[in-house]
Structure 1
Amino acid sequence: MNRILLIITVISAAIMELIDTSIVNVAINHMSGSLGATLEDTSWVVTSYGIANVIIIPMTGFLVNNLGRRNYYIGSLVLFTFCSFMCGNASGIWELVAFRFFQGIGGGALLSVSATVVYECFPKEKQNIASALFGIGVFIGPTIGPTLGGNIIDNYSWEWIFYINIPIGIITAVICYRILPESPTRKKIKEIDWMGIILLIIGVGSLQTILERGETEDWFETRYITILAVTAFISLLLFVYRELTTAYPVVKLSILKSPSLSISALLTFITGMGMFTSIYLTPVFAQRLLQFTPSMAGLMLLPGSIIAVFALIITGRVLQKGVPPAIIVLIGFCCFIYFNWSMSKVTLEVSFATISVNLIFRALGMALLTVPLSTLAISSLRPEDIPQGTAINNMMRQLGGSFGISIINTFIVRRMAQHRSDLVSNITYTNNSVVERLNKYTSLFQSKGFSLGDAHHRAIGLMDAIVQKQVFILSYIDAYLFIGAAFGLALPLLLFFSRKNGNKKLVIASTDH
């Protein structure tokens, strides 16, 4: 009974952490107005959390070994919950940003340590089931975050997107205090790699800031982005050298010599791109162009989410019966490629049901990718290296999401400029169809009582709005095709997952735990 309660508790904590990666996005405008801050300053509420998350996740193994898993996990829950309360009570934008950063520090453990605890609750031969159960949390969190945030904003106030964490945080902390065991593989490190910690914080912090703020700041046209890019490159290069040469690394990069972990990490990076960009693009597309409400956008995601939960569990059982992981991953990639291809065919007349069906393929793709990649990532690692391997894999998913959203934002902005240029070049007074439509709109406004000059001016504005809507939909179509192509280009990596590298290693690993 304690095992079931522990699994439910740590997965709930992971879902809470993942929801907070995206729930704030829909509240930016409300926060900006309430706190008297610019949208640019308010966006740091999102950025600071992401930076803290990506910094702390790879350090999970080091912190667990030195502080003890119980101390680190429960302490992180307390920090996350306290900072959630302080975020809701913030009276200024930079106070909110600061507490949001520390909330992200606390949230890091809720992802990686939760995954390790779930794995330990199952024998090695049933860890596909563990991956499936944890995968439910990984999938649900980013999916429901924007929808939950939208409903809270619509019915309450932005502070409640933080207050909602408080009862969950308190309950999970109390339960973990009573039943969470210490890590059976804990091995306290004799020396602390302070140089590695400093280089990691500077390198990953700089990189994440670039990804979060690059498009807003016009990339390398802004001096501080250029400085951060150089800083990130040098720091991460020195970090890799340091971690491969020191006796007590803060991040054990040597475990990436495992082909299963390294290839899984790359594919998890691509999966993170797909997971976060699709859940970013589709609700925005539905609400901005199709005029869906936040509640409708949430309902649109619901059928796929329900099917994905069952698909995750079935995938774990299928893998357990000996189906090669590479085949499951291939089907998952194909589902996601189909989702992006089908979304690239939509028009402004697309129905709610059509998008919901398309999203089912996205959900199936994510479900089929989550379990085998999580299992393969740790399949050939020694028990004491599993926390570190899990942390690296989770970090790659988060970085994939950051890279994906950053790249897709830049891509959309550039495609919008190109499409607008192409469309506007055809809107001339020598184009008979343009003149005919302009006259039609002018007559429409005249019939509503406007003078000829005002009617003509409003007709031009209406045509411009129509052009802009077409620019948006063409750019989003290109974005879906771009993501689908990224998945297609990653398919050759599956050739490295031979049957020996999949099933046989899983069986071997199951005998030494």
Structure 2
Amino acid sequence: MTDIIAEEERMGLPPGPEPAAKAFAPPNMALATIGISLATFMQVLDITIANVSLPTIAGNLGASANQAVWVITSFAVSNAIALPLTGFMTRRFGERKLFMWATFAFAIASLLCGLASSMGMLVAARALQGFVAGPMYPVAQALLISIYPPHKRGQAIALLAMVTVVAPIAGPVLGGWITDNYSWEWIFFINVPIGIFVSLVVGNQLRGRPEKLDRPKMDYVGLATLVIGVGALQVLLDLGNDDDWFASTRIVVLAIVAVVALAVFVIWELTEKDPVVDLRLFRHRNFASGTVALVLAYAAFFSIGLLVPLWLQRNLGYTPIWAGFATAPIGVLPVLLTPLVGMYATRFDLRMVSSLAFIAMAVTCFMRAGFNLDVDFEHVATVQLFQGLGVALFFMPVLTILLSDLEPHEIAAGSGLATFVRTLGGSFAASLTTWAWNQRGTVHHARLTEHIQAADPAIQQTVGVLGQGDPQRGAVLLNQMISQQAMQIGFNEIFHLLGILFLVVILFVWFARPPFTAKAAGAAAGGH
């Protein structure tokens, strides 16, 4: 659901003054709209389509489950790094050219993902895919709004909302179906014809669209320290479990590099006249409290989206497509309620609306904390469906709160900064939660086996029954049962903590102070 956030930043903001591009109309409005929307669908789809296929990908490429998570995190981190560059690139190259070439590059990167013959190649291709995807949504948003007359922009925004809600629902189901019936490579290959088609259509339809270009100064020091710091930190999180954390020289070096680079980044960005990431925005109370709430809640939400499909396949033996069917109901209520939330939420105290969202999310986490290995499909899907209520009430109110006390000229930068740290939060959470799940599974496996004695007649009888007379086979099956139970206990513990985290987030929302109406002039900023 990662990119619905960028769209919701527009909900409720009346259009402000725009350049002459507003008067431009493409030769075929329907075709231009389909092209822009299809690119958005493709990009958002790729955030979730690989989730249910991770176990299959790991098995085919000879990688561990921990290494397979890099397929998700590499995309998210590089996507986050590219986001702050969107404004620079649109001013330098123009929105039409940037969108056209980013979409084409996304298709090429998808082709490389499908052709990858090792986990390292796949992770590198996904990182490239995530980077070129960075500008796609904000620019798609700006382009779509610019080609519609003011009285129809609400319809354009609603269309984009539907696309960004439907794509994450379709992702797990489509990914599971493709993986089961063809091969995991095709979850990436399907982007190639779509990306090329969209690039050609949008490039042709928007030819002649007026754009004001300039040569903005690039904050190279800020960008370099950002890439080094975030990259080192993510690699540290991904390798930590395999390398025994700070007992490893490599992890220590990565930690030092990350701390030094990020410290330099923060100091430089606070003193640079034209920073790549404007950290000074955190001086605003609502922006600071709203952004913290957004990052923590999205990190927990992203963790749920990653852990549940993995758990369904690793612990319950679901196929990828059935894992997709079980998780898909999370999108039903957002599809139905998102337009209503956009229209009516501002009539209420948005802190209360956000609190209801986080309570709903917390309740679903506590429900999952009570799951066991015998839980049925209907129960899993029902909890997913109920979580959709929290998703529907989450994004728009929180984003409206965090943008509410920014100055008009700061809204675009604030929107980009919030999206940037939110994406990083999701990426880091993916690494930390999968590590914690495996760690707790190992701990509980040790606890469950410490009282088992091989000479115990009851244990010998159990091993004999399981192995049907073959003690070695019986011992292997018993160990597998214990491992499954240990991972289930670890899963329950993590969801208990995630539920508590959602409740803690409510406190940050209430640090904000009304009014929560964003300045209208900032609405025209688009994806810059």
TM-score using structure 1 length: 0.84
- What residue in structure 1 maps to residue 384 of structure 2? 359
- What residue in structure 2 maps to residue 319 of structure 1? 345
Distance 1:30 1:405 in 2: 18
Q: 1:251 aligns with which of 277, 280, 291?
A: 277
Q: 1:18 aligns with which of 44, 62, 69?
A: 44
Higher relative contact order by CA 8 Å / sep ≥ 6: 1 or 2?
A: 2
After the TM superposition, which of the residue ranges 347-356 and 135-144 deviates more from structure 2? 135-144
Is this contact kept in 2: 1:328–1:372, CA < 8 A? yes
- What residue in structure 2 maps to residue 372 of structure 1? 397
The 1:50/1:269 distance shift into structure 2, 3 A limit, reads: same
Q: Does residue 230 of structure 2 align to residue 215 of structure 1?
A: no
The 1:472/1:282 distance shift into structure 2, 3 A limit, reads: same
The 1:467/1:315 distance shift into structure 2, 3 A limit, reads: same
The code of the aligned residue for 1:442 comes to G
Is this contact kept in 1: 2:411–2:523, CA < 8 A? no
Q: Does residue 501 of structure 2 align to residue 490 of structure 1?
A: no
The 1:130/1:230 distance shift into structure 2, 3 A limit, reads: farther
Matches within 5 A, 1:9-408: 9-27=35-53, 45-90=71-116, 96-117=122-143, 134=160, 136-178=162-204, 188=214, 190-320=216-346, 322-382=347-407, 384-408=409-433
Q: Does residue 506 of structure 2 align to residue 509 of structure 1?
A: no
The 1:20/1:190 distance shift into structure 2, 3 A limit, reads: closer
Distance 1:282 1:31 in 2: 17
SS of structure 2 residue aligned to 1:157 = coil
After the TM superposition, which of the residue ranges 73-82 and 328-337 deviates more from structure 2? 73-82
State the superposition RMSD in angstroms.
3.6
- What residue in structure 1 maps to residue 494 of structure 2? 479
Is this contact kept in 1: 2:466–2:478, CA < 8 A? no
The 1:396/1:192 distance shift into structure 2, 3 A limit, reads: closer
TM-superposed CA distance for 1:32, in Å, is: 6.4
SS of structure 2 residue aligned to 1:497 = coil
SS of structure 2 residue aligned to 1:158 = coil
Unmatched segments (≥5 aa) in structure 2: 1-24
Distance 1:373 1:122 in 2: 27
Distance 2:243 2:209 in 1: 44
Q: Does residue 452 of structure 2 align to residue 427 of structure 1?
A: yes
The code of the aligned residue for 1:220 comes to F
TM-superposed CA distance for 1:475, in Å, is: 0.8
Unmatched segments (≥5 aa) in structure 1: none
The code of the aligned residue for 1:492 comes to L
Is this contact kept in 2: 1:61–1:387, CA < 8 A? no
After the TM superposition, which of the residue ranges 119-128 and 465-474 deviates more from structure 2? 119-128
TM-score using structure 2 length: 0.82
The 1:388/1:63 distance shift into structure 2, 3 A limit, reads: farther
Distance 2:207 2:324 in 1: 37
The 1:52/1:235 distance shift into structure 2, 3 A limit, reads: same
Q: 1:411 aligns with which of 428, 432, 436?
A: 436
Distance 1:197 1:187 in 2: 21
TM-superposed CA distance for 1:188, in Å, is: 3.9
After the TM superposition, which of the residue ranges 177-186 and 278-287 deviates more from structure 2? 177-186
Identity over aligned pairs, percent: 29
TM-superposed CA distance for 1:333, in Å, is: 0.1
Distance 2:312 2:162 in 1: 25
- What residue in structure 2 maps to residue 465 of structure 1? 480
Is this contact kept in 1: 2:73–2:431, CA < 8 A? no
TM-superposed CA distance for 1:199, in Å, is: 1.6
The code of the aligned residue for 1:436 comes to A
Query: How many pairs are equivalent?
Result: 498
SS of structure 1 residue aligned to 2:373 = coil
